[in-house]
């Protein structure tokens, strides 16, 4: 392994990883168990459904559908209530403004045709894996809402849509780190990568700074260190921890904190566990 830090046994056991999986491991072992070990389907909350539908509407609009039709088409995919549909429809002006701003940016900076919802993955050595769903080879994967390569320089822009409140770019440092890993593995000639957020609710785009990405070793080592730290307390998968996201959890009915009748135990399983990742 060409890095200065080695993944822990826990990290190897539960690979492949994504940022949401790593954050869940850190926040609540019980949620991690239901979501990633037994893969039990939970009850998606209203905010998440609205966010998913809005993401789909942006994707359809970027692919060429008129914004209103893109929103209507997206809402057909999700079981939204009337109130939730109205919340998605309220994003139409922001979607229209984003389309104009993004098109202008791409023209001004001589961008290549953008990639939408791009699925990228790397193995434990930081090498690109063609099959995003290959759990035997993939160590880290992620879906990029928008990825743009520039024609005149070996630079790239990665944008993510957020429908929640504006937390500031610093809050997404680990997400931007993963973008650098995935993009550098997929496009080895890249030297700088710019990450940003489309704050849909605030109708604003925030861009960070271009970050030098001469190699993948540094970012991969930083991410493995983050994984080791995030999973260090992932021993007892029946443990439930109160945290800032509990009210939006999909597994309230299985959590004793919300449902006194829920069992405090979980059943250990070997499903989706793996210890045979290559290390060289």
pLDDT score at 205: 96
State the greatest distance between any 2 C-alpha atoms of the chain, in Å, as a whole number: 61
Region 94-105 average pLDDT: 97
Nearest to 1 by CA among 188, 216, 272: 216
Task: Report which DSSP code applies to 262.
Answer: S
Mean pLDDT in residue range 207-218: 95
pLDDT average, residue stretch 209-218: 94
Q: What is the pLDDT of residue 1?
A: 63
DSSP state of 252: G
Residue 101 tokens, joined: 């701003």
Q: Which residue has the higher pLDDT, 110 or 248?
A: 110
pLDDT of amino acid 271: 43
DSSP state of 33: I
Residue 147 has pLDDT above 80, yes or no: yes
* pLDDT band at residue 273 using 50, 70 and 90 as cut-offs: very low
The confidence score (pLDDT) of residue 160 equals: 97
Q: Do residues 221 and 183 touch, judged by C-beta distance below 8 A?
A: no
pLDDT band at 274 (very low <50, low <70, confident <90, very high): very low
Res. 264 pLDDT band, cuts 50 70 90? low
Sequence-ordered list of residues with C-beta below 8 angstroms from that of 38, at least 6 positions apart, any chain: 266, 267, 269, 271
Residue whose C-alpha is closest to residue 75's, from 93, 94, 57: 57
| Residue 172 near residue 135, CB atoms below 8 Å | no
Is residue 178 within 8 A of residue 187, CB to CB? The reply is no
The pLDDT assigned to 272 comes to: 42
d(CA 240, CA 246): 10
Tokens of 220: 């991969």
270 pLDDT more than 50: no
Please name the residue that has the structure tokens 């829920």.
262
- Where does residue 39 rank: exposed (0-12), middle (13-18), buried (19+ CB within 10 A)? exposed
Please give the average per-residue pLDDT across 30-34, as a whole number: 94
Model confidence at 268: pLDDT above 70: no
pLDDT band for position 266 (cuts 50, 70, 90): low
Overall average pLDDT of the 219-229 stretch: 96
Predicted confidence (pLDDT) at residue 19 exceeds the cutoff of 90: yes
Of the ranges 1-15, 56-70, 94-108, which one carries the lowest mean pLDDT score? 1-15
**What CA–CA distance (Å, rounded) separates 189 from 184?**
7
| Mean pLDDT, rounded, for 20-33 | 95
Q: 215: which 2 tokens?
A: 């190699």
Residue 218 exposed, middle or buried by CB count within 10 Å (0-12, 13-18, 19+)? middle
Q: Is the pTM of this model over 0.75?
A: yes
Mean pLDDT of all residues in the chain? 91
Where would I find the beta strands (DSSP E) of the chain? 115-122, 140-149, 155-162, 192-199, 204-207, 211-212
CA 261 to chain centre: 33
Q: Is the peptide bond before 16 cis (omega within 30 degrees of 0)?
A: yes
Whether 10 and 18 have beta carbons less than 8 Å apart is answered as no
Q: Residue 144 pLDDT more than 60?
A: yes
Rounded to an integer, what distance in angstroms lies between the CA atom of residue 123 and that of residue 19?
A: 15
């Amino acid at each position: 392994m060409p890095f200065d830090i080695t993944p822990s046994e826990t990290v190897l056991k539960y690979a492949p990883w994504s940022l949401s999986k790593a954050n869940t491991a850190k926040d609540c072992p019980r949620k991690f168990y239901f979501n990633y070990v037994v893969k039990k389907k939970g009850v998606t909350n209203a905010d998440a459904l609205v966010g998913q539908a809005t993401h789909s509407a942006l994707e359809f609009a970027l692919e060429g559908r008129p914004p209103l039709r893109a929103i209507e088409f997206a809402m057909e995919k999700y079981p939204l209530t009337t109130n939730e549909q109205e919340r998605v429809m309220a994003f139409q002006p922001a979607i229209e403004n984003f389309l104009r701003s993004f098109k202008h940016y791409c023209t001004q900076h001589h961008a290549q045709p953008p990639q939408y919802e791009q699925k990228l993955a790397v193995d434990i050595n930081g090498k690109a894996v063609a099959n995003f769903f290959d759990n035997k080879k993939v160590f880290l994967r992620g879906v990029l809402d928008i990825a743009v390569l520039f024609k005149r320089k070996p630079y790239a822009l990665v944008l993510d849509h957020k429908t929640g409140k504006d937390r500031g770019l610093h809050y997404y440092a680990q997400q931007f780190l993963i973008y650098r890993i995935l993009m550098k593995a997929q496009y080895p000639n890249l030297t700088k990568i710019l990450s940003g957020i489309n704050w849909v609710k605030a109708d604003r785009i925030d861009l960070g700074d271009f970050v030098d990405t001469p190699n993948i070793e540094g970012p991969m080592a930083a991410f493995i260190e983050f994984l080791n730290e995030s999973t260090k307390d992932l021993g007892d998968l029946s443990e439930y921890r109160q945290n800032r996201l509990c009210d939006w959890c999909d597994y309230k009915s299985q959590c004793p904190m919300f449902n006194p009748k829920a069992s405090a135990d979980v059943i250990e399983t070997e499903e989706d566990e793996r210890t045979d990742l290559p290390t060289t």
